[in-house]
């Protein structure tokens, strides 16, 4: 996982296809972070949620981004300096064991990150502990509501059956996602109710879960494949033998190209789930 994101860091979210940034913006809007707040962004990556959070808290607030990948932190740090954002700090840290004192933050967020390692209430509790009473927790993840029906949320319908076996194989080989993804029944993200229960069991109140479709727009099937290489899906491609991979990519591109509209672009709706909750007021 660590190697995957370190390798992806430079090109991450820079493919020209809007994906992580609109999700990060929406998450910050949904989280309701107020001006002046102190925010922790876990698995901050290149800053898709970090920079909108910095705008929301303003110069009097503070946003600390942590990521396990030194490369991600390096690039996000450079961007923060370039944008002149003095309220932003970045650190290399394992988000599973954040090293901050209890009740340190007004809000803890994580866009398309926490779902990678959170498997149940025990994994969410560290974020609960970091919040002051009444503090806000908000996170976004690809929606898994459709996995029970054998559909991978990030794949366009037209290539789902083709790519699903490769994805499952890759997840098993990497061991990183194990039952979380491959076994839909064990996944806490499988329904709004299982998400609510997980957050409630971690101690949160006022839990809200919404699923929204993000229209991902690409110019060609080839561009969609390039885009997947700049995300966590890269791991799937890398585990396919080279010749076979070339064939699969050609077939994926061909199928997606049939979806072009009159203006020549392909729009793939990707379901994203946003959740927010609060620590009880003292
Ligand atoms: C899919 S990216 C999302 C990044 C960013 N939040 C965004 O929305 O663009 C997931 C991020 O989580 C980071 N990550 C993975 N495992 C982590 C861990 N245990 N602790 C902290 N960060 C981690 C990766 O390095 C990567 O930057």
Choose the residue to mutate in 22, 43, 80, 99 for probing ligand 1, maximizing ligand atoms within 8 Å of C-beta. Answer: 43
pLDDT-flagged residues of the chain (< 70): 1-4, 8-9, 11-15, 148-150, 175-186
- Chain centroid to CA 105: 21
Ligand 1 pocket residues where CB is under 6 Å: 1, 5, 13, 20, 24, 43-46, 48-49, 67-69, 72, 94-96, 111-113, 116-117, 232
**pLDDT score for 13:** 64
Give 40's contacts (C-beta < 8 A, 6+ positions apart): 63, 64, 65, 66, 98, 100, 104, 105, 107, 108, 109, 127, 130
> What's the domain range around 26?
2-278
Span 67-89, pLDDT tens digits: 999 999 999 999 999 999 999 99
Q: Considering only CA atoms, which residue is closest to atom 5 of ligand 1?
A: 45
Q: Are 172 and 124 in contact (CB under 8 A)?
A: no
Looking at 184-278, which runs of residues are DSSP E strands? 205-218, 266-278
Distance 112 CA to ligand 1 centre (A): 7
Domain count, the chain: 1
d(CA 178, CA 180): 5
Q: How far is the CA of 113 from the centre of ligand 1 (A)?
A: 5
Alpha carbon distance, N-terminus to C-terminus of the chain: 38
pLDDT of residue 72: 95
pLDDT at 168: 82
The CATH number assigned to the domain holding 270 equals 3.40.50.150
Identify the pLDDT of residue 185: 52
């Amino acid at each position: 996982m660590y190697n995957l994101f370190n390798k992806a860091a430079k090109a991450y979210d820079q493919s020209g296809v809007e994906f992580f940034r609109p999700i990060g913006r929406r998450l910050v809007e949904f989280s309701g972070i107020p001006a002046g707040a102190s925010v922790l962004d876990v698995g901050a990556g290149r800053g898709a949620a970090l920079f909108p959070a910095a705008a929301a808290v303003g110069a009097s607030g503070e946003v600390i981004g942590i990521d396990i990948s030194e490369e991600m932190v390096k690039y996000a740090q450079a961007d923060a300096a370039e944008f002149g954002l003095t309220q932003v700090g970045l650190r290399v840290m394992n988000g599973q064991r954040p090293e901050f004192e209890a009740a340190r933050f007004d809000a803890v967020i994580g866009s398309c990150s926490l779902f990678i390692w959170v498997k149940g209430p025990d994994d969410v509790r560290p974020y609960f502990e970091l919040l002051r009473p009444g503090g806000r927790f908000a996170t976004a993840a690809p929606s898994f509501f459709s996995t029970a029906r054998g559909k991978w949320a990030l794949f366009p319908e037209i290539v789902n059956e083709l790519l699903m076996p490769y994805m499952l194989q890759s997840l098993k080989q990497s061991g990183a996602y194990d039952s979380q993804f491959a076994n839909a029944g064990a996944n806490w993200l499988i329904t709004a109710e299982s998400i609510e229960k997980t957050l409630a069991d971690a101690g949160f109140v006022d839990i809200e879960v919404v699923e929204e479709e993000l229209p991902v727009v690409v110019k060609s099937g080839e561009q969609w494949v390039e885009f997947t290489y700049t995300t966590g899906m890269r791991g799937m491609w890398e585990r396919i033998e080279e010749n076979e991979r070339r064939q699969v990519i050609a077939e994926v591109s061909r199928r997606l190209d049939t979806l072009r509209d009159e203006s020549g672009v392909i729009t793939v709706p990707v379901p994203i789930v946003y959740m927010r909750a609060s620590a009880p007021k003292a």
